[in-house]
Structure 1
Amino acid sequence: MAITKLDAARRQLLAAIHLHWFLVEPLAVYQLAANVSEVCDKLLEKSGGTRIKKHVADDHGWEVKHVNMLINSARNFMKHADRDPAAILEDITFDECTALLLTACIDYTMAAKRSPPVVGVFIAWFAAAKIGGSESAFSAMAGGLFPGLAEMSQADQILAARRFVIHPMQGDILHDSRTELSDSWRWNELRKSGQDFRTG
């Protein structure tokens, strides 16, 4: 079966969220999220759509290539050894992956003009963890899905995400078979044992 660039981006994005919340492997998450962000950013540049990297660059007085350089320095370290076989890198943190995953989620949503429900859940989880529940209507909604998340430890924030996707709220669309791109088979598998996985 042939796939499009957006298909490839979607599958990598969903895998990255699964890895981030259930296997907590920053190197793999970072690579996948960076791939998604790069693909979607280029598609958005071609179509004239809203680009998160452009917003970040403008906010700092940079060019987009500077943002790409910051992201790709770690990404290239993990891919290449021809020019710098003895190089070392400060290990990538969970928070750095969270931030890049948020960018990838927004980029994908903008490029595809839709997204799997779990992408929206990730954005809400980020808002509840980093902003709390009172800064805006969206963060208030996020706080309703993940109450008290901003005050929790990182490990408890991860467990809250797992609890939500394993046992979503009544009427939640995460497991609605009618929802295109729901990717529900992964969550069905993770329900079986995912809560027992390590959190750091």
Structure 2
Amino acid sequence: MRVTKIDAARRQLITAIRLFFDGGDRVSVYSLASNAWEVVDVLCTSAGVESFSKQARENLPAGHTLKYYINEPYRNFFKHAEQDPNPDSSVELREANVAAILFLAVEDYIRLRQGGPIEAQVFQAWFIAVFPEKITDEPVAQSQLESAKLAFPDIATLAASDRIEMGRRVLEAARRDSALAADPKTEPSL
């Protein structure tokens, strides 16, 4: 099987999003999303795309890189043991961090490709609906927020587990939507 960089990123994102909405292992979701993000971030930079990551970098404290925030503490903890070989070492993985890295990867992917698989489109809308306070006042962002509210009505009032369940249901419906699948901005899923 021959796999391109963008195909590898897309496959990891799709798998991470499905795991996320199915209540799957959060370590796996974070790892897949951060792997996809790292590839997409380099591709965005190489293509001169105004990525969400590029915008985030502009707001970081001096001397810090976005990659540092992605890799520390979670990603490196999940991948490496050289610095700390104690098998009982632990890290607290928060749901918000999992959703945030997944959104960063999805948003950059969609900006790079000018579209994306159904899973990415649904997750983007879900995240925007769940975290409206993170959306800027720019007209495009506000339009996305209004669309997200329509797709996920009153989601902000639900418990975290119910928000994820709503995302799963919307994703299931979207995957059956032939008009969405036929849209030229929709890339194939797995």
TM-score (norm 1): 0.80
Matched residue of 1:54: which SS? helix
Q: Equivalents in 2 of 1:168, 1:111: separation in Å?
A: 22
TM superposition shift of 1:173? 4.2
Alignment match of 1:149 (pick from 134, 152, 155): 155
Do the aligned partners of residues 109 and 160 (structure 1) sit closer, same or farther apart at CA in structure 2, a change above 3 Å counting? Answer: same
Q: 1:22-61 CA deviation, whole Å, 9 max, x = no partner?
A: 0332111111111111101111112221132221121234
Other-structure match for 2:66: 67
Following TM superposition, by how much is the alpha carbon of 1:3 offset from its aligned partner in structure 2, in angstroms?
Answer: 1.3
The letter of the residue matching 2:70 is: I
Q: Within 1, Cα distance between the matches of 2:175 and 2:25?
A: 27
Q: Hey, what does 2:169 align to over in structure 1?
A: 163
The 1-side partners of 2:173 and 2:54 are apart by 37
Unaligned runs of 5+ in 1: 186-200
**Count of residue correspondences:** 181
The one-letter amino acid of 1:141's match is S
Distance 1:89 1:62 in 2: 28
CA–CA distance in 1 between the matches of 2:93 and 2:67? Answer: 16
Deviations 1:60-81 (Å, cap 9, x if unpaired)? Answer: 3446x62211211211111111
TM-score normalised by L of structure 2: 0.84
Residues in 2 aligned to 1:173 and 1:32: alpha-carbon distance in whole angstroms: 29
Identity %: 31
Report what 2:118 is aligned to.
Answer: 117
Cα distance in 2, alignment partners of residues 6 and 169 from structure 1: 21
Q: RMSD of the TM alignment (CA)?
A: 2.6
Give the distance between the partners of 2:175 and 2:187, measured in 1 at CA: 19
Maintained 8 Å contact 2:118/2:175: no
Alpha carbons 1:34, 1:75 under 8 Å: kept = yes
1:11-90 equivalences in 2 (<5 Å): 11-62=11-62, 66-73=65-72, 74-86=74-86, 88-90=89-91
* Distance change in 2, residues 1:117/1:169 (3 Å): closer
The one-letter code matched in structure 2 to 1:54 is K
Q: Please list every run of 5 or more consecutive structure 2 residues that lacks an aligned counterpart in the other structure.
A: none
CA, structure 1 residues 12+92, in 2 after alignment: closer, same or farther (shift >3 Å)?
same
- Determine the structure 2 residue equivalent to 1:131: 132
Amino acid at match of 2:91: E
